[in-house]
Amino acid sequence: MTDGYDPPPRPFTAPDLPIWVGARGEGFNRFASKAADGVFVGGIPLPILETVVGWARSERSIDVGIYVGAVFDPDEVEAVRPRLVFSLLDAPDINRERLGVSLDDARAAAAAFSAGDDRPARRLIDDRVLDQLLLRGSTSDVGRRLRAIVDRLSPTSIGVALLTPDLERGLDHAAQALAIARNPASEEVPA
């Protein structure tokens, strides 16, 4: 106990406070469908978003926030590529299965990367795997792909997890892509 602080006699309650669950796997998403007001979905390979959102809405329709990784500059994509191996280490098995990546291969590539050799991670995160883990391209390309996710899955919110080392420029690009996702008729603003 901290000096001068006494906990209240009963816990704080907020009956109108929405409860959201951050979930990537089937169990937590199905739990969220039963017990929560919403679910945050991130770190999911793009091709299985529909499956994951289906789990989250399996018992009843709840709010869903989808957050996808994005990189807008090709040089930054190559800087990010080997680091993505770490996202596979604690991922649900279905993520690696859908990507065709074994946990042992991900562990070996991550260990090599940590020891200074990014080649195994680069081989493991080839273009096929990369395109399933993040959106990449111009703000228009990313914005259109975000819009397609919205049209297909009807999330309550959608966001971009910036994986770029240049955060300021990444924020500008993300804002433009999200504007395009919101209004597909809008034009790309040069960065």
Q: What is the CATH number of the domain that holds 59?
A: 3.20.20.30
Instruction: Kindly state whether residue 78 falls inside one of the protein's structural domains.
Output: yes
- The Cα–Cα gap between 64 and 44 comes to 13
Instruction: Kindly state whether residue 30 falls inside one of the protein's structural domains.
Output: yes
What is the count of structural domains for the chain? Answer: 1
DSSP-H helix ranges across 21-90: 26-35, 49-56, 74-80
Return the pLDDT at 165.
Answer: 80
Return the pLDDT at 39.
Answer: 96
Instruction: Kindly state whether residue 142 falls inside one of the protein's structural domains.
Output: yes
- The Cα–Cα gap between 26 and 23 comes to 8
- pLDDT profile of the chain (191 residues), mean per 10: 70 79 92 95 93 96 96 92 94 90 97 98 97 95 95 95 86 94 68 48
- The Cα–Cα gap between 53 and 121 comes to 29
Instruction: Kindly state whether residue 157 falls inside one of the protein's structural domains.
Output: yes
* Contact yes or no for 81/122 (Cβ under 8 A): yes
* Contact yes or no for 163/70 (Cβ under 8 A): yes
Residues counted in the chain: 191
Return the pLDDT at 189.
Answer: 47
- The Cα–Cα gap between 137 and 77 comes to 9
Q: Around Cβ 7, how many Cβ atoms within 10 Å? A: 8
Instruction: Kindly state whether residue 26 falls inside one of the protein's structural domains.
Output: yes
Residue 145: CB partners within 8 Å, gap ≥ 6? 135, 137
Return the pLDDT at 188.
Answer: 45
Q: Could you tell me the residue range of the domain that residue 147 belongs to?
A: 20-182
Instruction: Kindly state whether residue 122 falls inside one of the protein's structural domains.
Output: yes
Instruction: Kindly state whether residue 40 falls inside one of the protein's structural domains.
Output: yes
Instruction: Kindly state whether residue 1 falls inside one of the protein's structural domains.
Output: no
